[in-house]
Amino acid sequence: MKFETPAGQNPIDQLKVVGRSTDRIDGKYKTTGTAPYAYERHDVVPNQAYGYVLGAGIAKGRLRGMDVAAAWKAPGVLAVLTTLDIPKLGLGKMNTANLFGGAEVQHYHQAIAVVVAETFEQARAASFLIRPDYAPEDGRFDLAAEARSAKPVGADSAEGSGGGPEDRVGDFEGAFAAAAVKLDETYTTPDETHAMLEPHATIAAWQGDRLTLWTSNQMIAWSKGSVAKILGIPPENVRVDSPYIGGGFGAKLFVRADAVIAALAAKAARRPVKLALTRPLIANNTTHRPATIQRIRIGATRDGTITAIAHESTSGNLPEGRPETAVDQTKLLYAGANRLTAMRLARLDLPEGNAMRAPGEAPGLMALEVAMDEMAERLGLDPVAFRVKNDTQVDPGHPERRFSHRDLVGCLRLGAERFGWARRSAKPGQVRDGQWLVGLGVAAGFRNNLLTKSAARVRLDGRGILTVETDMTDIGTGSYTIIAQTVAEMMGVSLDQVVVRLGDSDFPASAGSGGQWGANNATAGVYAACVKLREAVAQRLGVNSADAAFADGEVRAGNRGTPLAQAAAAGELVAEDGIEYGDIAKSHQQSTFAGHFVEVGVDVDTAEVRVRRMLAVCAAGRILNPKSARSQVIGGMTMGVGSALMEELAVDKKRGFFVNHDLATYEVPVHADIPHQEVIFLDEVDPMSSPMKAKGVGELGICGVGAALANAVYNATGVRVRDYPITLDKLL
Ligand code: MOS
């Protein structure tokens, strides 16, 4: 189905099921431990052996050789495969560093060997007997030092808005020089790791030339293609299955070493192989959110009209790696006639930098929205009023492109009212509550809404059960539930009549889970398949599909009602279709918006920061399931607290690795850190986004939170910290 804009009235608009708070279908399986995660799929194939991956002990260099004799002789060992046994393999989609094969070591903990044994313990013990002989080389590990030699770079990330190394509108330098009030500050954000609970894990089995991977992956179609490319086999010989995922956050957008090495190890051992990347391996073996150095300049008239805005970001990556697209939102968030955005990329020999929840905007807003707070103060304006004053309804760089729907102002105003913003002291360091200095902070949230094709298949059987199949994934976001809601609404049945099957590459290819594009696009694909099924049902029942209403398990036409199941009495009905978009994303800018508000207390003696209250007001089109959407936003807000106050991969700048590579030493918020969160969704629909009139919300939740918190800390203390995370040593 080709999406025609704007979407007219359609069965989703009934909102009998869609738009209602609904418990997650997979919730009971996940909370009772019965949802089988990749590593726990004991029953999919018999005779599973265990693999254990060994990571490189140097950050850069070559392997001269590896002594594996002792490992081969260890108890239970079935195979030992080293990276020297096979040639360097190709790269999959979005892979920067080689996953296995060849003598070159590109980063610390890059996989160099795998041991297969009867038990996990035997494989692990044998791996410790492998003696690698390294020829180490010097590497570059310090972003600040390498920033000087960083090169201009454009964006080609799967999630960024694209653009060249430098985008200019008007005359930034002239307007900035002439501005009455100005700011020129630099902000830094550290490397971060996804810290999803379920590690990367795969069970691999070969049947002749055919490979099946039971794995944990956000993007099934991408990964099927990548596995085929990396291993040099036809895509039709690869099946990827990932029905339950214990978090991804971008770490599982693409194929990683677990999938590739499990496949190679299974071939070597002639047995199905089960393999997980252990927690201490993940931070350095897989991807992370790259650190940034961001310079922001804003110039304005005395009344607070922005006349010049520039955002330049430097990040680092391995050769061939991509930049962190931290300047993207600055092209679109505020008005201003003269603009400059630019990215530079430094070469680093640290592990691969790549997408982590809201790549680009998450760290970009941590800088931009603090700069806006600083600018408001210099102008003597309220930070909410300053943002409202500089709102835009068009893409400032291309004024003929309007936003499909934009209500940032509504988010900020409603948020200010609900949060009690009027009680904020404009002067920092004024409010005391016992031992605590109290402050309020605000920031805008912004994240794009990407449109991408998505397909599904729907079956109706003789009992009236509808089964929907798509390779869409549920990374904890609630895909199962919103897809079931979509089918129920379209076919006029209750949720318990719908069975959802996800994550299998044998199913029609969906949008997948990334860049908060999953919810809107995957349900729109299911909508398209249901439209087709409705036509097939109508034809079977001999009614005109335009006149047929699907409700209460019946198909009604004229004054006749027929049970839906009757259409399948003579045999199952199957319909397959997908949604495809034309030029809508070019003619209209599609984005989501939020107003984030945070109250903190800062201990007057120790400078410990405690969050007291958080509020997010979100404008993200139709909210398909308010309950799971809220969960997504509070998860994002919580992650935003982590990025503002605690998360940081500590770089060993001499030896070139992330030192705190486990959950004991990589700090993330726990329940006690998050006392009170509130989420409000503006009641809106966006008919330009899809027949669902919905948008993404899963990444919006993290966008802007860190800055709101940083601004609250400043309001509490009068100390402006521009280097995240805001740990107490920086406040004393
Ligand atoms: Mo997201 S970083 O596209 O999983």
Tens-digit pLDDT profile for residues 667-720:
999 999 999 999 999 999 999 999 999 999 999 999 999 999 999 999 999 999
In a domain, 197, yes or no: no
Indicate left, alpha or beta for 312 from its phi (over 0: left) and psi (-120 to 50: alpha). beta
Of the ranges 25-34, 152-161, 345-354, 361-370, which one carries the lowest mean pLDDT score? 152-161
CA atoms within 13 A on the CB side of 95: 24
Handedness of CA 578, 583, 588, 591 (dihedral sign): positive
Structure tokens, 375: 């600018």
DSSP state of 6: S
Task: Kindly give the distance from the C-alpha atom of residue 249 to the centroid of ligand 1, in angstroms, as a whole number.
Answer: 5
Considering the domain architecture, whether residues 480 and 623 belong to the same structural domain is answered as no
Render 277-345 in DSSP notation, one character per residue: --HHHHHHHS-BBPPEEEEEEEEE-TTS-EEEEEEEEEEEESTTPPPP-TTGGGGTSS--SEEEEEEEE
- CA–CA dist 570, 573 (Å, integer): 9
Mean pLDDT of all residues in 432-440: 98
Instruction: Work out how many domains the chain is built from and give that number.
Output: 3
- DSSP-derived pairing of the beta strands 181-189 and 292-300: antiparallel
Task: Kindly give the distance from the C-alpha atom of residue 484 to the centroid of ligand 1, in angstroms, as a whole number.
Answer: 23
ipTM of the complex: 0.97
- pLDDT of residue 216 exceeding 80: yes
Contact 354, 250 (CB under 8 A): yes
- DSSP-derived pairing of the beta strands 573-579 and 394-395: unpaired
Domain of residue 636: give its range.
147-192+289-450+587-730
Q: What is the distance between the terminal CA atoms of the chain, rounded to a whole angstrom?
A: 60
Q: Is the CB of 514 under 6 A from ligand 1?
A: yes
Considering the domain architecture, whether residues 544 and 609 belong to the same structural domain is answered as no
For residue 357, the ligand 1 atom closest to its alpha carbon is 2
- CA–CA dist 345, 148 (Å, integer): 10
Considering the domain architecture, whether residues 304 and 393 belong to the same structural domain is answered as yes
Contact 214, 41 (CB under 8 A): yes
**Which CATH number does the domain housing residue 240 bear?**
3.90.1170.50
For residue 359, the ligand 1 atom closest to its alpha carbon is 2
In a domain, 430, yes or no: yes
Q: Is the CB of 157 under 6 A from ligand 1?
A: no
Tell me the pLDDT tens digit for each residue of 510-550.
Answer: 999 999 999 999 999 999 999 999 999 999 999 998 889 99
Q: Which of 289, 282, 93 is nearest to 200 (CA)?
A: 282
Task: Kindly give the distance from the C-alpha atom of residue 170 to the centroid of ligand 1, in angstroms, as a whole number.
Answer: 33
Of 580, 613, 634, the position where a domain reaches its end is 580
Q: Is the CB of 159 under 6 A from ligand 1?
A: yes
For residue 218, the ligand 1 atom closest to its alpha carbon is 4
Considering the domain architecture, whether residues 133 and 251 belong to the same structural domain is answered as yes
Of 238, 255, 276, the position where a domain reaches its end is 276
In a domain, 376, yes or no: yes
Task: Kindly give the distance from the C-alpha atom of residue 252 to the centroid of ligand 1, in angstroms, as a whole number.
Answer: 8
Tell me the pLDDT tens digit for each residue of 143-174.
Answer: 999 999 999 998 765 555 567 789 999 999 99
Binned at pLDDT 50, 70 and 90, residue 661 comes out as very high
Instruction: Tell me whether the omega of the peptide bond preceding residue 725 falls within 30 degrees of 0, making it cis.
Output: yes
Mean pLDDT of all residues in 338-347: 97
Q: Is the CB of 160 under 6 A from ligand 1?
A: no
Render 652-686 in DSSP notation, one character per residue: ETTTTEES--STTTS----GGG---EEEEE-----
Q: Which residue out of 223, 699, 702 has the highest number of ligand 1 atoms within 8 Å of its CB and is therefore the one to mutate?
A: 699
Considering the domain architecture, whether residues 220 and 259 belong to the same structural domain is answered as yes
For residue 517, the ligand 1 atom closest to its alpha carbon is 3
Render 602-635 in DSSP notation, one character per residue: EETTT--EEEEEEEEEEE-BB-S-HHHHHHHHHH
- CA–CA dist 476, 251 (Å, integer): 14
Contact 421, 465 (CB under 8 A): no
Residues 6 or more apart whose CB falls under 8 angstroms from that of 364 comprise 292, 294, 311, 313, 325, 326, 327, 328, 329, 330
Q: Is the CB of 248 under 6 A from ligand 1?
A: yes
User: What average pLDDT does the structure give for the chain?
Assistant: 97
Please tell me the total number of residues recorded for the chain in this structure.
Answer: 732
Is 324 one of the annotated active-site residues of the chain? no
Considering the domain architecture, whether residues 186 and 226 belong to the same structural domain is answered as no
Instruction: Label each residue of 117-132 as H, E or C.
Output: ECCHHHHHHHHCCCEE
Task: Kindly give the distance from the C-alpha atom of residue 255 to the centroid of ligand 1, in angstroms, as a whole number.
Answer: 14
Considering the domain architecture, whether residues 456 and 446 belong to the same structural domain is answered as no
Q: Is the CB of 217 under 6 A from ligand 1?
A: no
Q: Whose CA is nearest to atom 4 of ligand 1?
A: 250
Q: Which residue out of 193, 198, 328, 357 has the highest number of ligand 1 atoms within 8 Å of its CB and is therefore the one to mutate?
A: 357
Cβ count within 10 A of residue 530: 28
pLDDT recorded at residue 406? 97
Indicate left, alpha or beta for 457 from its phi (over 0: left) and psi (-120 to 50: alpha). beta
Q: Which of 192, 312, 489, 699 is catalytic?
A: 699
- pLDDT of residue 231 exceeding 60: yes
Task: Kindly give the distance from the C-alpha atom of residue 584 to the centroid of ligand 1, in angstroms, as a whole number.
Answer: 23
Considering the domain architecture, whether residues 563 and 626 belong to the same structural domain is answered as no
Q: Which of 638, 601, 599, 639 is nearest to 731 (CA)?
A: 601
Q: How many helices (H) and strands (E) does the chain have?
A: 16, 33
For residue 249, the ligand 1 atom closest to its alpha carbon is 4
Considering the domain architecture, whether residues 437 and 456 belong to the same structural domain is answered as no
**Which CATH number does the domain housing residue 173 bear?**
3.30.365.10
Q: Is the CB of 500 under 6 A from ligand 1?
A: no
Task: Kindly give the distance from the C-alpha atom of residue 516 to the centroid of ligand 1, in angstroms, as a whole number.
Answer: 7
Residues 6 or more apart whose CB falls under 8 angstroms from that of 128 comprise none
Instruction: Kindly tell me the burial class for residue 278, based on how many C-beta atoms sit within 10 Å of its own C-beta (0-12, 13-18, 19 or more).
Output: middle
Considering the domain architecture, whether residues 294 and 354 belong to the same structural domain is answered as yes
Q: Is the CB of 63 under 6 A from ligand 1?
A: no
To which residue do tokens 């005109």 refer?
544
Q: Is the CB of 359 under 6 A from ligand 1?
A: yes
Cβ count within 10 A of residue 491: 24
Q: Is the CB of 593 under 6 A from ligand 1?
A: no
Of 235, 251, 276, the position where a domain reaches its end is 276
In a domain, 210, yes or no: no
In a domain, 6, yes or no: no
Task: Kindly give the distance from the C-alpha atom of residue 464 to the centroid of ligand 1, in angstroms, as a whole number.
Answer: 36
Considering the domain architecture, whether residues 127 and 153 belong to the same structural domain is answered as no
In a domain, 206, yes or no: no
Q: Is the CB of 249 under 6 A from ligand 1?
A: yes
Instruction: List, in sequence order, every residue forming a beta bridge with 563; answer none if it has no partner.
Output: 554
Q: Is the CB of 218 under 6 A from ligand 1?
A: yes
Task: Kindly give the distance from the C-alpha atom of residue 357 to the centroid of ligand 1, in angstroms, as a whole number.
Answer: 5
The reply to whether the predicted model has a pTM over 0.95 is: yes
Considering the domain architecture, whether residues 255 and 323 belong to the same structural domain is answered as no
- DSSP-derived pairing of the beta strands 338-347 and 306-317: parallel
In a domain, 4, yes or no: no
In a domain, 208, yes or no: no
Q: Is the CB of 356 under 6 A from ligand 1?
A: yes
Q: Which residue out of 194, 196, 253, 452 has the highest number of ligand 1 atoms within 8 Å of its CB and is therefore the one to mutate?
A: 253
Tell me the pLDDT tens digit for each residue of 577-627.
Answer: 999 999 888 889 999 999 999 999 999 999 999 999 999 999 999 999 999
Q: Which of 111, 82, 122, 425 is nearest to 277 (CA)?
A: 111
Q: Is the CB of 477 under 6 A from ligand 1?
A: no
Mean pLDDT of all residues in 190-216: 98
Percent of the chain at pLDDT > 90 equals 96
Cβ count within 10 A of residue 28: 11
Structure tokens, 418: 């609900």
Task: Kindly give the distance from the C-alpha atom of residue 404 to the centroid of ligand 1, in angstroms, as a whole number.
Answer: 23
